[in-house]
């Protein structure tokens, strides 16, 4: 029984892993990375976010831009995902 659950979990991870990796587009240049940050900033402006959430978004955008400037694109996109979660209110 335990083996069956382990096999099912492993199969599910293998099947969903490549799809998840394809969904996140990691930019290849600082300009593309900064454009992604700008797009998130615009999305945040369009929402009427509470002040505390807006402060977190602004702080995270600064971190994201720092990663972009340092050519740390994967890290920038991870911060971008956090920003998107804040904007969407999850």
Give residue-wise pLDDT tens across range 18-29.
Answer: 444 445 689 999
| Confidence check: pLDDT of 17 > 80 | no
What is the C-alpha separation between 69 and 90, in angstroms, rounded?
A: 28
**Residues 44 and 83 sit within 8 Å (Cβ to Cβ):** yes
* Confidence band for 90, pLDDT divided at 50, 70 and 90: low
Which tops the pLDDT comparison, 82 or 17? 82
Tokens 């890290």 locate to: 75
pLDDT (mean) for 6-24:
44
| Confidence check: pLDDT of 15 > 80 | no
Which tops the pLDDT comparison, 72 or 7? 72
């Amino acid at each position: 029984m335990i083996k069956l659950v382990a096999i099912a979990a492993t199969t599910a991870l293998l099947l969903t892993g490549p799809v998840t990796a394809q969904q996140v587009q990691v930019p290849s240049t600082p300009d593309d990375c900064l454009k992604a940050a700008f797009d998130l900033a615009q999305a945040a402006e369009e929402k009427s976010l509470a002040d505390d959430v807006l402060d977190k978004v602004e702080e995270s955008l600064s971190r994201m831009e720092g990663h972009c400037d340092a050519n740390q694109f994967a890290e920038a996109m991870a911060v971008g995902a956090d920003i998107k979660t804040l904007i969407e209110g999850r």
